[in-house]
Structure 1
């Protein structure tokens, strides 16, 4: 009995059928759509311009300053409000004022530079700030005069263990204190993950 060299039946080649006009039109439309999305993406990325501002800082509280006419909310941290009190050794003390004093000491009269592109609900620039090479955001958390708010969790953990600043006693989280005293809604945390979310929202926001 004879067998084919491959032992398998041969399949006949069937050329693909030509694309219909509607299929071609759909392919062209998809190409135009993709090009449009790429153009939109380029425009949105261009609008996400990083802003840098520097100058003599006017310190409002432990995480808010003004440079020239630009109001800055320090990114990734949350400090006690200026009028907030905390409790230590059985007595209340003005932790909000002490937090502000801590930031003033860190700045030490030197020019401050802040960089960022996001803004909070009040239109303030969410900035990473430095003075004389000192990272002010990170240092406020490390000193225990601000809590991590989307970033600097390691610094907060060290401050908590060392009972630095507000960690030496008890306190309301700043956002909780604001809600109970000023009726302010809690703002979103503005760390790395929030930055990614804001970038995506900006890219796909048409207005």
Structure 2
């Protein structure tokens, strides 16, 4: 991981040009709806945000396990399969941030299209090389069709994570 991170951060950038993209590929293990692992390296899928594994909401007036639904979908398209990821960045948790493909299929775009993740562009570096129009269109189609999170009452995943960090620990004064 350190060698990959060093390579990512040490690439020279000449004004007006982009460095060649770093890639990591191998058999994927799904962690949750927006994170996979390849060769023990955690990779956060770029441009999307899915429910946390323990996150729930309400769908058709019944509790819905949105995080487990997102993880299950990701498992169906990527777990145990050869995945190739184009590294875009490294996040604050030292995970690589990448656009990942299984047999040419963009797995981040697929989960957005299924309505099990929303787009999240604000953390992308300016020179990210991703075609975001497809993500915007997929999210709009999922919303219109009422798929997944768009048919449920859930807290945005980013807000859910924020509220969990602020929660006081039990037994402490």
With the length of structure 1 as denominator, give the TM-score of the two structures.
0.64
Higher relative contact order (Cα pairs below 8 Å, separated by 6+ residues)? 2
Runs of 5+ unmatched residues, structure 1: 1-42, 185-207
Superposition map of 1:18-167 within 5 A:
44-45=12-13, 50-107=21-78, 109-150=80-121, 151=132, 152-167=135-150
Question: For residues 118-144 of structure 1, what are the alpha-carbon distances to aligned partners after superposition, in whole Å with 9 as ceiling and x for unaligned?
Answer: 111111111100111211011110000
* 8 Å contact from structure 1 (residues 106, 134) kept in 2: no
Number of residue-to-residue matches in the alignment: 142
Give the Å deviation of 1:153. Answer: 1.9
| TM-score, normalising length: structure 2 | 0.76
Instruction: Give the helix-richer structure, 1 or 2.
Output: 1
Map of 2:128 onto structure 1: none
* The structure with more radius of gyration: 1
CA contact (8 A) 2:29 2:80 kept: no
Moved >3 Å (runs of 4+):
none
CA deviation vs aligned residue, 1:80-138 (integer Å, no higher than 9, x gap): 00100011111211110010000111226421111113111111111100111211011
- Give 5+ residue unaligned stretches, structure 2: 1-10, 122-131, 168-173
Residue aligning to 2:157: 174
CA contact (8 A) 1:117 1:126 kept: yes
Give the SS at the match of 2:153: coil
